[in-house]
Amino acid sequence: MEVSNLSDQDSVVIIGLEVHIQLTNLKTKLFCSCSNDYRNTEPNTYVCPICLGLPGSLPVINEKTIDFATRLALALECDINHQFWFFRKNYHYPDLPKGFQISQYNKAGGKAFADGGKITVRLNNHKKDIKLNRIHLEEDPARLVHKGSIASSPFTLVDYNRSGVCLIEIVTEPVISSPEEAREFLKQLKSIVQYTGISNLELEGSVRVDANISIKGHDRSEVKNINSFREVERALRHEIIRQKNAIKRGKVLIQETRHWDDKRKITISLRSKEFEEDYRYFPEQDLGPIEIDDKFIQDVKEYLPEMPTERALRLRREYMLSEFDSENLVLDKRIADFYEAGANADPTFGSKEYKQYCNWLMNNISGWLNEHNLTIDKTNLSPKQIGDLIKYIREGKITSKIAKSFIEDIMQGTSVSQIIKERGRTRLSDENIIKKTCKDVIEENPLIVSDFFKNSKALEALIGRVMAKTKGQADPNLTREIMSDLLKNN
């Protein structure tokens, strides 16, 4: 990693993304009635003549995919094409049982599912519309399984359970100017997909990203095989540095396809433009033209839930939240739903409590969820518990410090009143009493106190005295916190 001394001109980064997401919420595959849910299944059991591409089989469109794609197109503000043909993308590979992939094509007389559209991202408090080129539907190839890495594996196994699962591809214009912007784009996309109810992108393998990256004035490379949103930023960073270094050393960049090796965290050249595959796209005439009329689009629109952008605006209006808070709160629909259920439950709540409730969710609860790698719906936490915490704090029954020490318990589903009752009996968690005891200990032990800044064990000694005075009933975390504060301000 070196890169410096590049002219301004050579620092302009241009990124375009092709994001493939599986429509995991479908019941069946794109062109047959096999189950879409191939995860954790015995290999090659969720297959039929159609998704195995057996001789004589024909594809039949799963109508639900049109509904799902329409939802996404509406959410992304794309122009839906009212009539289109699927196209065959011809190439040989072991994961492709027919020797072609049924996809869509926006050239040679073909049309995408929908054109245009945008996603608004915020970076450094600056908003930007990332324009989309198109979205289209296609079938997922089979899954190739290797022992270890592709290079070292003595074999390749093919599991056709994934073959024919419906993918939707979202293609941006080349307008993304940094890895961070790409990250924000994907964050918003993930949120929108979640709201439309078409897919659960938390499932392993539900997302694949190809990225076109170039430095302005130079040829681009296409980095394939980025298998999670998290990896995208990293892959982009790596590739930009690689390209900039090459330019600095006076190398000519060539148009090429590169592979993201997520074990070694580098991109590797696969093939240059002259060996680029010619996919010989042409219409798939086993499927008639797909027709989508205005009435259908209108019907889908009607049951499409409120999208995150609208919701953020409404939350600002109804709960008087800041732009920043509301936008963060709506990202994960489950958190936003939780918030509204909790904030609405108590009629005495006003802007102050709304703000507190939001802070609780976005800081303490989200922090805990991240730490435990869980989502809110997978815990026993109910919206009422956070509401209760806020009420008890408001009524002065507990301080917010004490409330924070309840997190572990409320996540297990214990009610706030129950926690207070139990702690009152077994553990001293009244902040005022602990504070008073701490003050007493400080006064009684000036020598230890004077040692505090030199010896880290001094704090432990003081806490030990507090515990002794309270016969071990003082909440240790709370005591530590209060004691530290007092000593620092001493």
Partner 1 sequence: MKLFDYMGYEIIEKIKSREITILDLIQSTFDMIESTDHILHSFVSLSKKNAFKKAKEYDLSLKKGKNIGRLYGLPLANKDLICIKGFPTTCASKILEGYISPYNAFVIDRLLHQEGAIHIGNTNMDEFAMGGSTENSCYGPTYNPWDISRVPGGSSGGSAAAVSSGQSIFALGSDTGGSVRCPAAFCGVVGLKPTYGRVSRYGLIAFANSLDQIGPITKCVYDSALMLEIISGKDPLDSTSVDLNIDKYTEEIKKPIEKKIIGVPKEFFGEGIDKEVMGSINKSIKKLESLGASIVEISIPHLEYTIATYYLLCMCEASSNLARYDGLRYGKVSTDPSNDVYDAFSKTRGENFGPEVRRRIYLGTYALSAGYYNMFYIKALKVRSLIRRDFIEAFKKCDSLVCPTMPSTAFKVGSLIEDPLEMYTQDILTCSVNLAGIPALSIPCGFDSNNLPIGFQIIGDYFDEKGILNIGYQLEQELGIFRKTPPLISGGK
Q: Which residues of this chain interact with Zn ion, rule CB under 5 A?
A: 32, 34, 48, 50-51
Judged by CB under 8 A, the stretch of 47-55, 344-352, 358-366, 482-490 that binds partner 1 is: 47-55
The entry of partner 1, Zn ion, none that residue 56 binds, CB within 5 to 8 Å by partner kind:
partner 1
Q: Give the contacts of 75 (CB within 8 A, at least 6 positions apart).
A: 192, 195, 196, 304, 307
CB of 50 to partner 1, least distance (A): 8
Asked if 49 interacts with partner 1 (CB under 8 A), we say yes
Asked if 56 interacts with partner 1 (CB under 8 A), we say yes
The conformation of residue 78, written as its DSSP 8-state character, comes to -
Phi, then psi, of 211 in degrees rounded to 5? -125, 135
The amino acid that residue 250 corresponds to is: G
Considering only residues 94, 217, 305, 367, which one is a binding residue for partner 1 as defined by CB under 8 A? 94
Judged by CB under 8 A, the stretch of 46-54, 189-197, 204-212, 375-383 that binds partner 1 is: 46-54
The conformation of residue 142, written as its DSSP 8-state character, comes to P
Phi, then psi, of 449 in degrees rounded to 5? -60, -40
Length reported for the chain: 490
Q: Give the contacts of 391 (CB within 8 A, at least 6 positions apart).
A: 346, 348
CB of 88 to partner 1, least distance (A): 5
Of 60 and 433, the one with the shorter C-beta distance to partner 1 is: 60
The entry of Zn ion, partner 1, none that residue 465 binds, CB within 5 to 8 Å by partner kind:
none
Of the candidates 106, 133, 105, the one whose C-alpha atom is nearest the C-alpha of residue 119 is 133
Of 105 and 229, the one with the shorter C-beta distance to partner 1 is: 105
Q: How many whole angstroms separate alpha carbon 226 and alpha carbon 61?
A: 28
Of 55 and 396, the one with the shorter C-beta distance to partner 1 is: 55
Considering only residues 61, 246, 253, 487, which one is a binding residue for partner 1 as defined by CB under 8 A? 61
Here's the x/- map for partner 1, 274-313, by CB under 8 A: it reads as ----x-x-x--xxxx-------------------------
CB of 48 to partner 1, least distance (A): 8
Here's the x/- map for partner 1, 390-409, by CB under 8 A: it reads as --------------------
User: 260 near 233, Cβ under 8 Å?
Assistant: no
Cross-strand pairs, 19: 170, 209
Of the candidates 335, 332, 69, 37, the one whose C-alpha atom is nearest the C-alpha of residue 198 is 69
Q: Considering only residues 109-138, where is the footprint of partner 1 by CB under 8 A? A: 109
Nearest 10 degrees: CA dihedral of 225, 230, 234, 240? 70
Q: How many whole angstroms separate alpha carbon 171 and alpha carbon 133?
A: 5
Q: How many whole angstroms separate alpha carbon 275 and alpha carbon 252?
A: 18
The entry of Zn ion, partner 1, none that residue 51 binds, CB within 5 to 8 Å by partner kind:
Zn ion
CB of 405 to partner 1, least distance (A): 60
Positions in the binding site for partner 1 (CB under 8 A): 49, 52-61, 88, 90, 92-94, 97-100, 108-109, 156, 158, 278, 280, 282, 285-288
